[in-house]
Amino acid sequence: MTTTTIAVIGAGIGGLTAAAALHRRGIDVHVYERGDTLREQGVGMHLGPNGTRLLNRMGLAGQLARNAVRPEALEVRAFHDGSTVARQEMGVAWEERFGAPYLTVHRGDLHRMLASLLPAERVHTGRELTGYEEGAKGVTLRFAGGTVTRASALIGADGVHSLVRRRLAGPERPVYSGNCALRGLVDAAALPDLDPALMYMFAGPAGRVLLYPVRGGRQFTYVVVAPAPEGLDESWTSTAGPADLDATLAGWAPQVRALVGTAREVRRWALYDRAPLERWSTARTTLLGDAAHPMLPHHGQGANQAIEDGVALAICLKEEASGAAGIAAALRRYEATRRPHTTRVQLGSRDGRPTTTQKRNPSMTNNLGNNGSNNNRNVNNQAADMAWILANDVEANLNRNDNLHSNAA
């Protein structure tokens, strides 16, 4: 039997962020990943200023500059002819406004960056958690194959199908959004009519297509969101194919139809989430990222909120006293800081689904060329609605709350 201080279950974006933030603060941490290799499946992702400011402080600014893209603007296009309906400036303007850049990046690239912040011996692959017991002296973790490890605290960063969440919250029914996403990668050269310095949203009557640059602008990630009947597997890596794209994009603009023949692969993602939890933690166990608050992708905040979780957890564990009482206090503080915020983001992501957006902003789903000012106002209003998320600085907030508490005392 081995002994560690903090055990993180899951080596995804959230788990590696938490482990890197803990390691950076001198806390003994080990990560346990069920997969046999350390890799991140998926395509591109959004990094809001709320996430990039924290990653920059962790020393990743240079790697992000080389591998990510800072989109200059978001252009909203009409689905049937590709004409520009609205434009939201981003780039320098958003970096100045929020104090950090808004970036788009391939998940695998960010995953490798985070893994580089940890010594190799801190990450253990081929370790599938099968159960755990929490006791007065710590947490005993049991893995497939019979391996047993003891830790002072257990962090469940094991995704939407989290075993740790099931132990804490009991069985739950996934909540289906009514939509499914087809997504993948395409070389930017295969879409010559689209500028790899921009993000694009093609808004249709019953769905939308988002394209954004990754890999330094050499590729686009595409996400096609459309209604679909319930019953699809709750997975974001299920296989689909060009025929699925062809059927979904029938009648769309040529810039979007080009995906059918050029996309390297097509993955199907049935969009489910869960009801917000009323409790995340016990005295020695807590949740992080999708295990705590799985959310729909319409605000592009799933990974960002996991990054915020990881940094907040590391701060709380570092600043509390050691021992059982200190760990319990740190986990209480972490949950009190994060759960109200992520619940609001999680529920807001539901409101941002395409069907809701279309009802609220019909001008964004029709080609109203003579109403450009209203269209720009709509997309700018949507960006303003997210400003409280993008401006969040979880590290500064924890310090500010500590100062307020000290002054009150």
Closest CA to 336 of 278, 407, 404: 278
Q: Residue 371's pLDDT band (boundaries 50, 70, 90)?
A: low
Q: What does DSSP say about strands 44-47 and 175-187: parallel, antiparallel, or unpaired? A: unpaired
* Number of domains composing the chain: 1
Q: How many CA atoms lie within 13 A of 141 on its CB side?
A: 28
Q: Is residue 184 part of a domain?
A: no
Q: Tens digits of per-residue pLDDT, 308-341? A: 999 999 999 999 877 889 999 999 999 999 999 9
Q: Tens digits of per-residue pLDDT, 52-93? A: 999 999 999 999 999 999 999 999 999 999 999 999 999 999
Q: Tens digits of per-residue pLDDT, 101-154? A: 999 999 999 999 999 999 999 999 999 999 999 998 899 999 999 999 999 999
Q: What is the pLDDT of residue 358?
A: 36
Q: Is 402 left (phi over 0), alpha (psi -120 to 50) or beta?
A: alpha
Q: Residue 375's pLDDT band (boundaries 50, 70, 90)?
A: low
Residues with a catalytic annotation lie at 212
If you average pLDDT over residues 205-225, what whole number do you get?
94
Q: Residue 407's pLDDT band (boundaries 50, 70, 90)?
A: very low
Residue type, 378: N
∠23-24-25 over CA atoms, to 5°? 90
If you average pLDDT over residues 281-298, what whole number do you get?
95
CA dist 312 to 215, 273, 309, 336, Å? 29, 23, 5, 11
Q: Is residue 262 part of a domain?
A: no
Q: Is residue 404 part of a domain?
A: yes
Q: Is residue 269 part of a domain?
A: no
Q: Is residue 324 part of a domain?
A: yes
Whole-angstrom distance, CA of residue 385 vs CA of residue 376: 14
Percentage of the chain modeled with pLDDT above 70: 86
In this predicted structure, which of 83-87, 193-197, 345-349 has the lowest mean pLDDT? 345-349
Q: What is the pLDDT of residue 372?
A: 55
Q: Is residue 25 part of a domain?
A: yes
Whole-angstrom distance, CA of residue 348 vs CA of residue 273: 12
If you average pLDDT over residues 373-388, what whole number do you get?
71
Q: Which domain holds residue 59?
A: 2-173+274-408
∠182-185-187 over CA atoms, to 5°? 140
Please give the structure tokens belonging to residue 315.
């701060």
Q: What is the pLDDT of residue 138?
A: 94
Q: What is the pLDDT of residue 232?
A: 63
Q: What is the pLDDT of residue 373?
A: 59
Q: What is the pLDDT of residue 64?
A: 97
Q: What is the pLDDT of residue 240?
A: 83
Q: Is residue 34 part of a domain?
A: yes
Q: What is the pLDDT of residue 303?
A: 96
Q: Residue 8's pLDDT band (boundaries 50, 70, 90)?
A: very high
Residue 19 pLDDT exceeds 70: yes
Residue 10 pLDDT exceeds 50: yes
Residue 362 pLDDT exceeds 80: no
Helices (H), 25-90: 49-55, 61-67
Q: Residue 229's pLDDT band (boundaries 50, 70, 90)?
A: confident
If you average pLDDT over residues 263-271, what whole number do you get?
87
In this predicted structure, which of 19-23, 116-120, 357-361 has the lowest mean pLDDT? 357-361
Q: Residue 377's pLDDT band (boundaries 50, 70, 90)?
A: low
Q: How many CA atoms lie within 13 A of 130 on its CB side?
A: 9
Residue 353 pLDDT exceeds 60: no
Q: Residue 369's pLDDT band (boundaries 50, 70, 90)?
A: very low
What is this structure's pTM? 0.90
Q: Is residue 27 part of a domain?
A: yes
CATH classification at residue 108: 3.50.50.60
In this predicted structure, which of 53-57, 74-78, 261-265, 370-374 has the lowest mean pLDDT? 370-374
For residue 85, the SS3 value is: strand
Residue type, 179: N
Compute CA 139 distance to the chain's CA centroid, rounded to the nearest angstrom.
Answer: 28
